[in-house]
Amino acid sequence: QAFFRPITNAAPPSPTKRQTKISVIGVGNVGMAIAQTILTQDLTDELVLIDNKADKLRGEMLDLQHAAAFLPRTKIYASVDYAVTAGSDLCIITAGARQNAGESRLNLLQRNLALFKSIVPPLARYSPQTVLLIVSNPVDVLTYLAWKLSGFPSNRVIGSGTNLDSSRFRFLIADHLDVNAQDVQAYIVGEHGDSSVALWSSISIGGVPVLSFLEKQQIAYEKETLENIHKAVIDSAYEVISLKGYTSWAIGYSVASLARSILRDQRKIHPVSVLAKGFYGISNEVFLSLPAQLGRGGVLGVTNVHLNEEELQRLRDSAKTILEVQTQLDL
Ligand code: 6V0
């Protein structure tokens, strides 16, 4: 006997909308922060978790499922087998090897390359239409590898890039000027890491461009103050890691905001890692962050922001830094 008695003479259901499915690869601190933000923000009908540690994976799945009474209805699955990801609209990769004491960044990258060779091809096979969103570090080089390993068009391979750095930047500017961070428009582009580029000329608050406002008012601003804010952005990940061991909440919200823009076709502009060849005089196949419009198809376009000479030079240097690492890899 069914729990509900069906209504007789009910009209046949209208063609149902296709369900949305997100897969998160790697259920460490970052993967789980992303998963829980996605759940609380009701961004998907199905959420799949993948990891190679079966017990931890099942534990995390059960723990999330037990919150069902407090969450929107989302089916949560977990498996070590990639078949469970089939038909995903978005696959978010957070799996990564941890740096061993004394290990060089290049060696770490070589190990992450081996890991990506076991992750990206099955994802691409089971979900040939998916958008790949890479979070694992070093994110720009790993996004390039994911692009090569998937064989996808570049608009469907995105790195979370400087979306998080830009949010840290907006927080620090807002804190400095005592305004709401959501009213601060400001971009950090380039490499997610030490060679990132702050676009000072792009900063506006409530539509008022900050630098030209200060100049017009003949208010002296110290270049050093601006540089210090950018330096604080670069240092903030190191600071959080030295204090709590890893970063999780901000990257969770940052990636959930990207998932929303992509799956809900928001056409919102985010600084994310995209194939930069052909933009701002970059001629190599490198991925780095540029302000990109995101929607259902992934990257829809790159904004033509005005960069001054210094910003342009720094962006090209950032591209060079990434390329140097990339060319040392055994693909
Ligand atoms: P973590 O807590 O060590 O989690 C990594 C997870 O990956 C673990 O659960 C592993 O079991 C899993 N894993 C390892 N190998 C495999 C495999 N072959 N298949 C499936 N799963 C596997 O690390 P944490 O979650 O803290 O960080 C994950 C990655 O995100 C790291 O590379 C970080 O550097 C990176 N971050 C990137 C950020 C960004 O802005 N792009 C921000 C924060 C962290």
Task: Please give the distance, rounded to the nearest whole angstrom, from the Cα atom of residue 30 to the centre of ligand 1.
Answer: 6
Residue ranges for the chain with pLDDT beneath 50? none
Residue of 81, 94, 241, 249 to test ligand 1 pocket, by largest number of atoms within 8 Å of CB: 94
Predicted local confidence at residue 252, as pLDDT: 98
Find where tokens 């790159």 sit: 302
Predicted local confidence at residue 63, as pLDDT: 98
Residues lining ligand 1, Cβ inside 6 A:
25-31, 50-53, 94-96, 98, 115, 118-119, 135-137, 139, 160, 164, 192, 246-247, 251
192 a catalytic residue: yes
Predicted local confidence at residue 220, as pLDDT: 66
Task: Please give the distance, rounded to the nearest whole angstrom, from the Cα atom of residue 27 to the centre of ligand 1.
Answer: 7
CA 119 to the chain's CA centroid:
17
Predicted local confidence at residue 13, as pLDDT: 75
Query: Kindly report the CA angle at 95 between 92 and 98, in degrees rounded to 5?
Result: 150
Task: Please give the distance, rounded to the nearest whole angstrom, from the Cα atom of residue 293 to the centre of ligand 1.
Answer: 26
Predicted local confidence at residue 18, as pLDDT: 81
The pair phi, psi for residue 16, each rounded to 5°, is -75, 145
ipTM: 0.99
Predicted local confidence at residue 330, as pLDDT: 77
d(CA 94, CA 85): 15
Number of residues that this document lists for the chain: 331
Task: Please give the distance, rounded to the nearest whole angstrom, from the Cα atom of residue 208 to the centre of ligand 1.
Answer: 39
Strands 298-302 and 287-295: antiparallel
**Smallest CA separation from ligand 1 atom 4, residue:** 28
**Smallest CA separation from ligand 1 atom 42, residue:** 251
